[in-house]
Amino acid sequence: MKSEPSTLPSYQPSTLPSPHLFDETFLHKLERLSILSRRAMAGQLQGERRSPKRGQSVEFADFRPYSPGDDFRRIDWNAYARLERFFLKLFVEEEDLTVHLLVDTSRSMDWGQPNKLWYAVRAAGALGYIALASLDRVTVSAFSQQIGETFPPHRGKQQAMALFAFLQELAPQADTDLKAALRNYANTATNPGPLLLVSDLLDDGWREGLTALAARGFEATVLHLLSPDEVNPPLTGDLKLLDVETNRPVEITADYDLLARYRQELTNWQDELRAFCGGRGMNYVAVTTDVPFEELIFSFLRRRGVLR
């Protein structure tokens, strides 16, 4: 006896629970956080992060000898009194970074309770708001087979509503092609900086795609998002399953041994992803959508070194 699996409720942008993704109390709590950057990068405008450049701020960095044409106001007169030579004080210049958010909108993301795509939209919204509140530039791109809808770089908290509106318009698109989409982004994106990829990674091209991002110099965090029923399938008996992206059927007998092998293969796959990312300086974070969202942001991602 063959049976078709029941269809889980799909993501519907018109029925999202909040027009602004988050309430004011939640946004105020987000403003206390920042996205961790493990290395200094040069930005474009003055912000709240240390840059490898030396400029004028309140934090001392170093001295250098005076050269003709330098600003006399930066001379350290105490050093001159001791050494009878002119030295300039150098300070850490704080600049913004461009934080890149990539959201997988392939059809496989339109699955689960809570829905993976809706969870990804909220994660991107929270992380984007944190970056905007830190005066970083934020850009968001949706992808499936290729890079699709894009929210160009914006800066400042006043851009939050535009960011949220963009995210709430995202809807499931085509099949996944991680190799093509991530390679394209690596080749075309400007100002590489912290990058947060939110995806279920259900495509064999993840190796090539992640390699391209690492080679370009992005400081990447991979948020590997799965639904609880993908981790522990609630299946039993003889079933005919359909691939959500290709509609190809597969017939299985969901007994104890098959489900045990499935869970072991899933563990092996996540271990492979973790090792692959770790070897390329990427932060791999596996999470299921039944993790309460506030716990994800204020506890889970902080423990994993994504936020502070």
Domain edges within the chain? 13-41+96-303, 51-95
In this prediction, residues 182-205 reach a mean pLDDT of 96
Write down the pLDDT at residue 101: 98
Lowest-confidence range among 8-22, 109-123, 192-206?
8-22
Write down the pLDDT at residue 85: 82
Lowest-confidence range among 33-47, 150-164, 191-205, 251-265?
33-47
Please name the amino acid found at residue 293.
F
Write down the pLDDT at residue 79: 80
Write down the pLDDT at residue 64: 66
- CA angle, corner 68, sides to 64 and 70, nearest 5? 60
Q: For residue range 105-158, what is the model confidence (pLDDT) as tens digits? A: 999 999 999 999 999 999 999 999 999 998 899 999 999 999 999 999 999 999
For residues 82 and 87, what is the distance between their CA atoms, to the nearest angstrom? 11
Write down the pLDDT at residue 110: 95
Contact 116, 138 (CB under 8 A): no
| 13-41+96-303: CATH topology | Rossmann fold (3.40.50)
Q: Which residues in 232-260 are b (16+ Cβ under 10 Å) and which e?
A: ebebeeebebeebbeeeeeebebeeeebe
CA distances from 83 to 79, 86, 90, 112 (A): 6, 8, 18, 70
Three-class SS state of 191: coil
CA distances from 155 to 16, 48, 122, 151, 195 (A): 25, 12, 19, 12, 16
Write down the pLDDT at residue 45: 44
Write down the pLDDT at residue 17: 41
Q: What is the mean pLDDT of the chain?
A: 84
In this prediction, residues 50-73 reach a mean pLDDT of 57
In this prediction, residues 72-93 reach a mean pLDDT of 73
